[in-house]
Amino acid sequence: MRHWLMKSEPEAFSIDDLERVGTEPWNGVRNYQARNFMRDGMRPGDGVLFYHSNCAVPGVVGVAEVASEAYPDPTQFEQASPYFDPRARPDAPRWMLVDVRFKRKLARTIRLAELRAQPRLEGFALLQRGSRLSVLPVTRGQWDLILALENQPRGLP
């Protein structure tokens, strides 16, 4: 089993929203690298760190799992959707997604600042300078380390 991190802006779709719906098609990803991770890397059952971005306290807030193989993102064909892509055709889809299933909320938010303070997370894709990838791989070691922080009092200022 592999591990991943997926970002979402909580004002658009939060961990509480995922808990409410249970399983959600991860639509709207319009970045080739992120698409390729979903299409070529993800398998059902893979672990997902759910990350809140572009908000007051960015950080990891929950655990989810990949709940499907990749399949074409239907919103690319929907003219009324903000994710509509006129270059996409049903027989030649450009964008893929997977379903994501809620597992649990973390006891506390593992803040971005706290992750940055971990020397052992050097090289973690999330922390690369200027990285804006919304779907990215997490090694087993990074996964274990990040989740171990959950039960520590509070990592940083």
Partner DNA sequence: GCCAACGTTGGC
What is the token pair recorded at 143? 């996964």
| Helix count and strand count (H, E) for the chain | 4, 8
Give yes or no for residue 89 binding DNA (CB under 7 A): no
Tell me which of 79, 119, 129, 157 binds DNA, using CB under 7 A: 129
Residue 58 interacts with DNA (CB under 7 A): yes or no: yes
Q: Which is nearer to DNA, 128 or 152 (CB)?
A: 128
84 binds DNA (CB under 7 A): no
The full DSSP string for 71-138 is: EE-GGGG-TTSTT--TT-BTTB---EE-EEEEEEEEEEEEEHHHHHT-GGGTT-GGGSTT---SEEEE
Which one among 16, 20, 22, 31 touches DNA, defined by CB under 7 A? 31
β-strand 135-138 against 96-97: which pairing, if any?
A: unpaired
Q: Counting contacts by CB under 7 A, is residue 134 touching DNA? A: yes
Based on CB atoms, which residue is closest to DNA, 44 or 124?
Answer: 124
Considering only 27, 103, 112, 145, the residue that binds DNA (CB under 7 A) is 112
Kindly determine how many residues on this chain lie close enough to bind DNA according to the rule CB under 7 A: 20
Pairing of strands 59-66, 99-111: antiparallel
In the complex, the residues that contact DNA under the rule CB under 7 A are 7, 9, 30-33, 53-55, 58, 112-113, 116, 128-134
